[in-house]
Structure 1
Amino acid sequence: MNDDPSVVEITVCNPKGEPLGNTIVKMYDETTYEAFKEKQTTKALWEVVTDKNGKATFVLERQKWFVRTQYRELMFVVLETLDAANYEWWSKGGTVTVGKKQSFKIVVNRQEAAKEIEKREEQPEESPFLIENGVLKGIKDSTLSQVIIPAGVKSIAPEAFWESNVESLVLNEGLESIGVQAFARSKKLASVSFPSSLKVIEKHAFEDCVSLTKVNLSHTAVEEIGSNAFRETGVNKVAFPVSLKKIGSQAFLKTQLENVVLPVSVEEIGPEAFREAVSLKSITLPNNIQKIGWQAFYGCTKLANVNYAGSMKLAEGVVESAAFEGCEALTRIILPQSIAEVQEGVFIECNKLTQIILPENVKKIGGYGLRTNYPVEKIVFKGEKAPEVEDSSLPFVDDLTSIVVPKGKLEEYKAAYVDYQKIMTENP
């Protein structure tokens, strides 16, 4: 019996052969594909987003996908929304054999889809929206579930779709801002298409949209995600734009995010931005981050991996109080190179954290800054000069196994942290 997984690699490109990254590929079997052909809103068995090379890889475990069979008929689909009731889609697939690697190519012709949209826009009809001077202020029919915002709308007014029944939303190219609470408490909203023209997402814009699971902002020009913008939504995956600089306070509080990769442009993560995102397992931070806010990752109990990307340009960053408090799965952490200050109680109740590595630019550590309330095996200092500390900044000496300092700086660190001299060593 072959227990190896089947690997299906889907390549998505345009008619010129150029790869299409950040494109969702949906997988269906024989039954669900037939249902999909009748109704394009049929839920897929699995979705994978293509990488920058246009590749989407499906790894199909035998015990889940090949029960009592060696073969599956699977189809892979790229779906584009034309309007509330019409879709354009491209598919490839066939027989997939257990334990084998197979490849399919999907060629997406978005120009044809764009022509269909233009054709439909040319047909005049009564607008279901309340629009004044490019501002969409509301909707006439509160029962409308499939919404495509018309061309010419520059902004969506505060509370325009508050507690609406919208399920599917396509925002128009040319839209620049989404107002405060614009779609808040729209509990049925499950799909949003964001335009490249979008610059501003205001406070509480999508708060409590519990059916919204995926947010793709990668093609937008958004620089700041407002406070509480996606708070307590069902969001489990976000693709951020390269323009992003700031994530507001509580922006993703109590969401279902699992893996977060922030672009290197991000300089600030606001207070409680990812607080109690209890499914969050990994976060990639920019090495030039200038602020990780108060309780930014508080109570992220599954957060086990903190990674970094990009280069450091300005070493004035701060990790604010309790930023990682209660991250129970965290075992090792290296702070970004830009960090100069670690405030109070950053790692309190990180009961499995055994190694803390501080970059060379750290100059100050606040009270309880490196304490967890549990034993810590190793703290590594990279700086040539011992950071300024308070009496309570380091763990109790009995709770700390070793301190490692830069080569040639042992005596300086011993003089700075007298009570810890016996457990200090130099980097080889």
Structure 2
Amino acid sequence: MLGMIGLFGGLAILIFLTMKGMNLLIAAPITALFIAIMNGIPLFPQLVEEGAVNFLTNYMGGFTGFIASWYLMFLTGAIFGKVMEDSGAADSISQWIVSKIGMKRAALAVVIACAVLTYGGVSLFVVAFSVYPMALSLFKQADLPRRFIPAALAFGSTTFTMTSAGSPEIQNWIPIEFLGTTPYAGGQVSLFVAIFMFVFGYWWLKRMISKAVAKGEKFVARDTDKEVDMQRALPNPFLSMIPLVVVLGITLVFHNLLGTSALIISLSGGILATFLLNKKYFQNFGHAVGEGAMGAVIAIANTAAVVGFGGVVKATPAFEVAVNVMTDIPGSPLIGGALAVAVIAGLTGSSSGGQAIALPLLAPHYLDLGVDADALHRTVAISSGSLDSLPQGGYVVTTIRSIAGETHKDAYPAFGALSVVVPLLGAVLAVILFSIGL
């Protein structure tokens, strides 16, 4: 019981500290230490046998492991975003979009841009880095409150695209290993759910922005914002889109061969394409690359801090008990599977982590019961993208703080509504549709 209190108490404390604005590099290890103590886990490797569970090894293993796996993706993604900004390509695209769909649909433009890149296989973190400069320009021109930018980025990336049938994102591929399905599992239901999430989510986002504007909220510029010179010559908007197409195309070509490593090639290609196509429009190419590199370090450190927290959580006896409880929930196996994956994703701050931990336990048990593998695949995929977006999640902190420079207090209400509530409703709809035999 003490271990379980420590587990969920530690998560609650981490969420509280994150919402209060504490640096995640401090909050995550402190709360992980609290969980370790409450679960009787030794603090240092010198106090246990070689290879045994201990706080320091498990935390730093998760922390450094994430950096080792993702640093170059973060680096190239952040630099790509910055060179798109410095060359004026992001401004050119945003002005063209506004001219076609109008200022009032600036948020829709951001959502669509994120959706296209995400469904094309670009990492969620990279999408946020790449689209943010355009989003900032769009929101500034439309005079919309900038605190909604993280919500628009997350909605376009982590809801109706990330976990839909055919998506090359890892959240749609992990179940294949355990269920013997395909990326298109549950395609018909997935389409219905994706349409629901898009329509309902965009309506909600638009409503929140409209209410804020009606109360007098406007775009507030900051000293750190790059000033937009309205007299500045900008590159052709169609040529400016070519680097995005390059990123998407290279990712699609090399994804099956190289997996996530294809992102390094595709983003490097995007950087090169931006430089070659817009060379004469750059203000300071070298400075943009340097700023992108520094931004990548901050972003990946914040994310790795939460992954380290998850490394300690997964090592606790209480976590194993919690997993067993979730997998033994009575009723429809789809409900139990969806809930188990969602809760574990919330505890570890990772949608892919929630699947990777739950499916080895769920899959054999439910398949033996005759559960439709395609239905289980789609249900757990959709549900994995819900509670992983609680305030302490690595993607959440990176997008809100490191990329957008907002506070949780200002940005998270809309962010959580679209990236937690909407996917949860989508998972419920999927269970219902599968249950009636659709």
Same fold (TM over 0.5): no
Q: Could you say which TM-score interval applies, normalised by the shorter chain?
A: under 0.3
Quick one: higher RCO (CA 8 Å, sep 6+), 1 or 2? 2
> Normalised by the size of structure 1, how large is the TM-score?
0.22
More helix by share: 2
More strand by share: 1
Question: Rg bigger for which structure?
Answer: 1
